[in-house]
């Protein structure tokens, strides 16, 4: 089944919402690191390769960074999905560029190269691991060579090792950057972003949450939301380590089935 294309009106609503998210997470360390990497690609010396790679575990804010960069640095943002084919990838890119999407794969590559060169905006490809598993990586290399625009690839923690297996590709990477665990400043920004009005989460409890989830931004957001929800039920407006006491945090592992049940 061919993946459903997003309409222009749907993209407008989606990008407006994503822009709000991007601005909200602007101070986060990994957002700033990704923006710095993209600016490095944009200001590179003429003739230098234009690929950058940003990599890290799930939940480290990579997609937040991509949203911010797309909005603030006027970049094209594609989030590849598991069922995308070479042709659908090119069609999605051409839709973002406002170009026709009909043609064979070689024709679409040529059209995309021309459109990218004229548009002269950087391209951010999120979930770039799928480029390898779906056989799209060489097409992205062709787009880079044909248009000479900066292309930022965002992938999982082992993404650089996967790229290193492709000799023609790894030499085109100008810079690599690794996502870092959230520090306390990041955790505070995240907590303030998701805490409802009137509820304050104190640093001593926030430090426990950050350490409990080893700086994973997604889990910090989930845990802070859980703590605030429980606090509202108990009528608490100021939550600290002392007031939280022995209440349960979220479980961070899947439930184990009870023996004997089918």
Mean pLDDT by 10 residues, the chain (262 residues): 42 46 67 94 93 96 90 93 97 96 96 96 97 96 96 97 90 95 94 91 96 94 93 91 85 61 52
Taking the C-alpha atoms of residue 76 and residue 116, their distance in angstroms, rounded to an integer, is 10
At residue 218, the pLDDT reads: 93
**95, 5 in Cβ contact below 8 A?**
yes
Taking the C-alpha atoms of residue 176 and residue 182, their distance in angstroms, rounded to an integer, is 19
From first CA to last CA, the distance across the chain in angstroms is 34
Q: How far is CA 205 from CA 51, 226, 229, 236, in A?
A: 41, 13, 15, 14
At residue 250, the pLDDT reads: 74
At residue 168, the pLDDT reads: 85
**56, 101 in Cβ contact below 8 A?**
no
At residue 249, the pLDDT reads: 86
At residue 167, the pLDDT reads: 86
At residue 17, the pLDDT reads: 44
Where are the domains positioned within the chain? 8-178, 184-244
8-178 adopts what CATH topology?
Rossmann fold (3.40.50)
SS3 249: coil
Nearest Cα to Cα of residue 22 among 182, 216, 193, 197: 193
């Amino acid at each position: 089944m061919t993946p459903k294309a997003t309409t222009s009106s749907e993209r407008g609503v989606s990008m407006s919402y994503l822009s709000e998210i991007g601005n909200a997470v602007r101070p986060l360390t990994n957002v700033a690191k990704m923006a710095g990497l993209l600016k490095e690609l944009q200001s590179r010396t003429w003739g230098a390769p234009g690929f950058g790679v940003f990599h890290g575990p799930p939940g480290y804010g990579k997609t937040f960074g991509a949203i911010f960069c797309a909005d603030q640095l006027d970049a094209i943002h594609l989030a590849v999905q598991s069922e995308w084919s070479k042709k659908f990838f090119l069609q999605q890119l051409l839709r973002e560029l406002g170009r026709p999407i009909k043609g064979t794969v070689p024709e679409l590559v040529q059209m995309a190269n021309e459109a990218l060169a004229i548009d002269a905006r950087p391209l951010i490809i999120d979930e770039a691991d799928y480029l390898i598993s779906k056989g799209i990586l060489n097409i992205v290399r062709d787009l880079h060579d044909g248009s000479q625009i900066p292309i930022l690839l965002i992938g999982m923690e082992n993404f650089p090792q996967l790229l290193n297996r492709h000799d023609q590709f790894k030499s085109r990477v100008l810079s690599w950057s690794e996502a870092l665990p959230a520090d306390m400043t990041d955790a505070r920004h995240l907590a303030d972003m998701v805490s409802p009005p009137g509820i304050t989460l104190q640093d001593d409890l926030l430090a426990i949450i950050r350490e409990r989830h080893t700086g994973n931004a997604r889990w910090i957001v989930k845990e802070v939301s859980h703590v605030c929800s429980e606090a509202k039920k108990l009528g608490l407006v100021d939550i600290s380590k002392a007031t939280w006491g022995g209440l349960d945090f979220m479980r961070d592992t899947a439930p184990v089935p009870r023996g004997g049940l089918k």
